A = this chain, B = another copy of it.
Amino acid sequence: MEKTLNVLDKVNMPEDLKKLSLAEMNELANEIRHYIIKKVNTTGGHLGPNLGMVEATIALHYVFNSPTDKIVFDVSHQCYPHKFLTGRKEGFTNPDKYYTYTGYTAPEESPHDWFKVGHTATSVSLAAGLAKARDLKGEKENVIAIIGDGSLSGGEAYEGLNNAAVLRSNIIVIVNDNDMSIAENQGGLYRNLRILRETNGRAECNFFKALGFDYYYIEEGHNIEKLISLFEEVKDTNHPVLIHMHTIKGKGLEVAECDKEHYHWILPGELSSDFSPAAGEDYAALTNSYLKNKHKEDSSVIAITPATPGVCGFTPEFREIMGANYTDVGIAEEHAVAYASGLAKNGAKPVLAMMSSFVQRTYDQLSQDLALNSNPATLLIFWGGISGADATHLTTFDIPLISNIPNMVYLAPTCKEEYLRMLDWSVNQNDYPVAIRVPAGEVISSGREDNTDYSILNKYKIEEKGSKVAIIGLGTFFELGKKVKKVLADKLGISATLINPRFITGLDEDMLNELKQEHSIVITLEDGELDGGFGEKITRYYGASDMKVLNFGAKKEFTDRVPLETLYERYHLTPDLIVDDIKACL
C-alpha cells in the first residue's frame, strides 16, 4: 500500500503548519506515522518512541515559533516527527534520502536542532542553559525541554529538573510519559507517575511539584486540539512550567503498542511478514546461558542492566528465570555501578552488563565507588570497538575510560572460549573489580579449551613465535593480527611473533623484555581510540630502548555514520596498510 500524499505535500517548515486546520493536522499525523513506519522498517531505527511523539510535535510546532523558540529533545531518538516539520521530510518520504539525516537532532542539519544528543537525561540541563543565556541577553523566547521515555530515571535529568525549577524565568519541560523506558520503567518514581495519571494529575503527592514546578497534566497526549490548547496556555510563561503528558509508545501500530519494549528499536525489515531474525550464536546468548547456569548453583549471582537488557542477552525468558537475581535499574548507570559495588562488598556476585557507549556515564562510580574499594564486581562491556555508528553512540572510548583507573582489571577476550573462561573466573574471584570487553560481531571459536588462570594478572600469551616483528593484537583485533602476520610472511618473508595480550590494564614486562632479543619492531592493534589506550602504554615501556613501536587504532575524533571500511582505511587498519607501515620502519 502506497499512501498518497495529501497534507504533507504542503508542509515543509513550521510556518506551513500554522496554516492548517485541525482536521488537516490530524491527517498530517497519519501521514507522518505512515512514513515513519515505512522508513524505519527499511533502515531499522527507533520506532515506538517516534510514533508516540507525532501529535505532540505537530502541536508544539503549531504553537511555538521554532527556531526562535527553542525545542530541546532528550535522547533525541524521538525527533523524527520534528524532522518532518523542519525541512527534512524527504529523509522519510524518499527512499533515496533515507540515509541523509541522522536519527538524532543535529545542529548541522537544521537551525531547529540545538544539540547533537543521543545519551539520555540531558535535555533539561541543556535547555536550562539556553534559557539562562536568553535571560542574560534580555531576550524573551520560549525554551522547551522534552524528556521522558525512561530518561527520568537518569541522575542528570534530576539534577537538571532540580536546577531548572529555580530559574525564575521561562522554561517549559514536557515529560512524555509513555509508562516505558526501553524496557519497562523501573524505580519508585514510576509509581508516582502512575498515581498522577490515575488522578488526572490531581494527586497531592507530586514529584514535579515537590521540585518546585508549576505542574500541568494532559491525559490525551495524542489529541492535537487539547495539546495546542495547553501549549498556548503555558506559552510565554514567566516561570518554570512542567507538562506531564500521557502518550502511548508505538501509537498507531498495533504490534508496537502491544510489545513496547521489542518495538522500541527495530531491525531493517522487522515489520515485514517474511522477516526472519539472524539465527546463530552470539555473545549475548552465551552470556545469557552462562548466567542462567551459574545461577542454578549459586543463588548470589545477580545480573544487572541499566535499561538495556536486549544488548546483553537478558531476554524476557532470562529475566523470568533469574527472578530476584536480576535487576534492571532503569537508565541509571551511576546507580548500577555503585549498586554492583555494594552487592559485591556484601558477598553477592554481581554481573553488570552495559554498552560501551554508556559506560561513559559512570566514570566516577567506576573509580570511587568500585575501584577504590576493590570490590569484586564483574562488568561486561558490550559492543566496544570502532563502528559506523552515529556520533552520539560511538563505542571507541571505553579502553581509555576504564583502563586508566587504578585497580580495575580490564580483559579482552579474542574468542568464546576465552570469554567464558574470563567470565567464570571473574564471577568466582574476590579480589578485583573486573571489566570484560565482550567481543562485538560474530562469535569466534578457537576450538581449544581455555584453561588460563586469570588471577595471574597481566600475562600475555605468545600464540606463534617468530622474529623481527612482534604483533600484539588486542581482543577483537587479534584476528587482524593473524592477517597481518600472513601478509608479512607473503610480502616481506617475515615470520612475525603473534601475541594475544588478554589484559588491557597492565603490561607483561617480562615478555616485553624478552621480545627485545629477536625483534626490532613491535606493533599494537586495538579496536578503539589510540589516545590514552592500550598501545601507548607499550610504547612508553619501550621509550628508552631501541625497539620501534607502531600503534594502530582509532584517531581521537567523533565520527558520524562513517562506514567501517572508510575508517579502517583512514586509520591504517587493513593488513596491507599495516604491512606498508611496518616496511617503512624496517
Q: Kindly supply a per-residue 1/0 record for chain A positions 117-149, scoring 1 wherever the CB is within 8 Å of any chain B CB and 0 otherwise.
A: 111001001111111111111000000000000
A344 at the interface (CB under 8 A from B): yes
| A288 cross-chain contacts in B, Cβ below 8 A | none
| A213 cross-chain contacts in B, Cβ below 8 A | 188
In chain A, positions 265-298 with a C-beta closer than 8 Å to chain B are: none
| A392 cross-chain contacts in B, Cβ below 8 A | 368, 372
Report the minimal beta-carbon distance from A433 to chain B, rounded to whole angstroms: 12
A204 to B203, CA, bound (A): 9
In chain A, positions 369-416 with a C-beta closer than 8 Å to chain B are: 369, 371-373, 391-392, 397, 400-401, 403-407
Tell me if A132 and B360 are in contact (CB < 8 A): no
A400's partner among B117, B338, B350, B400 (CB-CB below 8 A) is: B400
Report the minimal beta-carbon distance from A322 to chain B, rounded to whole angstroms: 11
| A584 cross-chain contacts in B, Cβ below 8 A | 544
Tell me if A363 and B401 are in contact (CB < 8 A): yes
A114 at the interface (CB under 8 A from B): yes
Is the interface on chain A under 10, 10 to 19, 20 to 34, or 35 or more residues?
35 or more
Tell me if A189 and B160 are in contact (CB < 8 A): no
A252 at the interface (CB under 8 A from B): no
A556 at the interface (CB under 8 A from B): yes
Report the minimal beta-carbon distance from A65 to chain B, rounded to whole angstroms: 16
Q: Kindly supply a per-residue 1/0 record for chain A positions 530-568, scoring 1 wherever the CB is within 8 Å of any chain B CB and 0 otherwise.
A: 111101110110111110111100001110000000000
A406 to B348, CA, bound (A): 38
A78 at the interface (CB under 8 A from B): no
Tell me if B136 and A165 are in contact (CB < 8 A): no
Tell me if A346 and B130 are in contact (CB < 8 A): yes
A129's partner among B209, B345, B361, B549 (CB-CB below 8 A) is: B345
Report the stretch among A13-21, A40-48, A50-58, A326-334 that lies at the interface: A326-334
Tell me if A205 and B209 are in contact (CB < 8 A): yes
A176 at the interface (CB under 8 A from B): no
A369's partner among B117, B187, B372, B400 (CB-CB below 8 A) is: B117
Tell me if A156 and B335 are in contact (CB < 8 A): yes
A38 at the interface (CB under 8 A from B): no
Tell me if B300 and A137 are in contact (CB < 8 A): yes
A550 to B540, CA, bound (A): 7
Given A129-B346, A166-B188, 8 new contacts (CB under 8 A) = A115-B341, A115-B345, A160-B338, A192-B212, A205-B205, A360-B368, A406-B556, A543-B548
Closest 8 pairs between A and B when the two form their complex, measured CB to CB: A129-B342, A155-B155, A165-B188, A188-B212, A125-B338, A532-B532, A133-B346, A159-B335
